[in-house]
A and B are shown apart, each in its own frame.
Chain A
């Protein structure tokens, strides 16, 4: 691991303001030109418990989280007990002097002297920012922006605490500093997490309607869009349940609004009949599923890649769909856009599969040039009547021309029953076969537009690591470290996991001496999908399903045993 990388963990009870320290520090670091990867670990409760906000930071690009901790800011004693075994050799633990801890690796902060109790987190931020060598004004500005919306008195008091705690920290012994290498000429980057990038990608695509029912870790997608609804002219509606959410979105899409829903596994289970309805009525919809460990309620605030097969097979009957699995914040943005494009082009359900790790992971990203990205227009508003318009006309591509109700003199029908070309229900079994074939033909077009997997490293490596979705960063970093040890390694990352086009990747699988799948689930679902699609059996697998994200260390540690 390069010495320029530092892993900072802030831990404490819910309600102690640790996310505030984390957010302000993350903002300051990105503005100073650093790359960061945030990992949030929290319990499903409002107050108490044990939560952490971890920022991995480096002047060089990083895309993965790290398990060993270099700087632990423990806001309670429990945090020390739970994480002291994770400390790196040069690790420091920043604690309240009142905790009565002793040792060379402790930084004892006189919180009582530096701040009133309710601003203790800001004192922690002040000390931390000095230890990292961050400029005072940078942190102060981030803080003012954050609290500025609240009240003046609070801003003033916070500001006094920040100045005081920084002054105290300046006097600390130099051995307790963990100054980051300065970034000369810092580039302008945005600080956002995966869910925010999905929301922004949707806005860029021209989303006009989102309906949802709150469920971790998907909720922040809807909240981000709700905050921008007035400015961007869209409707965000909290539905009475997930069943209502998807049916509302389909009604909106049928009537011309570019529509999406966002949920997690349990909520998606309720939506499944609606997925089938989207396919049958050929109504465009983007469905975001943010995974968390199941079955049932599972671990509501943790991460997993356990719903791939569920989403892949969701919906009764047989119909085409596409599933994206972004591996970076940028991919969350661009592939969400792509999902909207394909939903519109192929008139059916398109999925974005993410998880809690990515949903909550703040990172530094190069700004998107949204002015150059065209919105997905549902269709031209065709006012002029065309003769003999048939909503479900049989075509070679399987895609029939879609008009919107109310914008043409034609009446537009959509039916969940098997139907004739004008949308009316039928029990003509020959028509049934024609229609099933027509709908399924869309898979051919969809397959021709698949985003190919990303292959890095040698063409015929001794070891090929295969992964999908949010594990991309960890796998790439593990491969880089193996390469520096002289190993022959390649990686293959899928950001679209369905449809699979074997021609895009079989040469890589066949060309490697050993292939290992890396997945965040218990049974190797993607490896199984590869096998059922291509016959290629990836028997060696590194799996993780304890609710935590896959890290480079986890891969390297487990590689020996596969």
Chain B
């Protein structure tokens, strides 16, 4: 039986009012809606406040290195495609330290759901700019304001024709939970970039700031229309569209490996007859 309670109830290390609490709740709801038993789920995370999420859920977890959640998740999914693999980490972890892996995961189209807690700032290290921080945003590390333009993960993923691209908002739990369900159901790489406030270090992009801007994509948006999706992906200002922005049906990465057609790797014993034949080819 899959239940909300079955996913546990833990004391967290997060600040009161942090968007992480709502994202955790949305994820739990999504796991229950998808009827996934905890032992069938693997959450891989990196380092940062968001990356602590799997510690507050009763699931399998691999809390690895900063920026390296996606490669670890890719390896785990390839080793055992029966696992439902979710990556959960922040904007710094996924788009900064792990930027190359983000691009590679999109290209591979590995069946992993990537949930990015995107609060446009570094929380754990106390308030430096992240890859998604707005130009001109002042921090102790960037006292003259951030000189670089922000990274737009939704636009990059859509431009690269990622399998599934969505944006959510921690202030709309039911909507976010629904997005996570859809992302998990997508057979390929799925990105959910989640707007969330950082109550301690981002005094610009506050809950009210997001609440005012994050609005569902228009009902006539067709997420299979890539050109239309690119326009939506670049919409950022007084209105920030949330919802499914783009998806396609490219085959998932793991379907390309003949070894996996025979089931998870661990269930396949070494064929010593074949190995002896391989050795013979060296004679």
Contact = CB atoms under 8 A, between A and B. Distances in A.
Interface of A: 31, 188-192, 196, 200, 203-204, 206, 208-209, 211, 228-235, 237, 239-241, 243-245, 247-257, 259, 273-274, 277, 281, 367-368, 370-371, 373, 375, 378, 381, 404-417, 423-425
Nearest to B97: A243
A251 B76 contact: yes
Given A233-B271, A244-B101, A405-B83, A251 B39 contact: no
B83 A367 contact: no
Interface in B68-122: 68, 70-80, 82-83, 100-101, 103-104
Given A232-B275, A406-B80, A248 B74 contact: yes
12 contacts: A206-B269, A229-B259, A233-B262, A235-B260, A239-B104, A240-B104, A247-B71, A251-B62, A251-B72, A375-B269, A405-B83, A415-B63
Contacts of B58: 411
Contacts, number: 206
B68 A423 contact: no
Nearest to B103: A240
Given A240-B101, A251-B74, A405-B42, A425 B55 contact: yes
A277 B268 CA distance: 27
A560 B77 CA distance: 59
Interface string B268-283: 1111111110110011
Given A204-B275, A229-B259, A257-B265, A405 B39 contact: yes
A209 B274 CA distance: 18
A259 B71 contact: no
B247 to A, nearest CB: 23
Contact of A191 (B44, B60, B262, B282): B282
Interface string B239-283: 000000000000000000111101011111111111110110011
Contacts of A404: 80, 266
B253 to A, nearest CB: 9
Contacts of B259: 208, 229-230, 233-235
A425 B78 contact: no
Contacts of B34: none
Lowest 10 A-B CB distances belong to which pairs?
A251-B75, A251-B72, A252-B75, A257-B79, A248-B75, A405-B60, A247-B71, A256-B266, A255-B79, A255-B76
Contacts of A375: 269-270
A206 B60 contact: no
Contacts of A229: 258-259
A247 B266 contact: no
Contacts of B64: 247, 250-251, 277, 281, 414, 416
Contacts of B226: none
Nearest to B259: A233
B10 to A, nearest CB: 9
Contacts of A190: 279, 282-283
A252 B100 contact: no
B269 to A, nearest CB: 7
B232 interface: no
B97 to A, nearest CB: 10
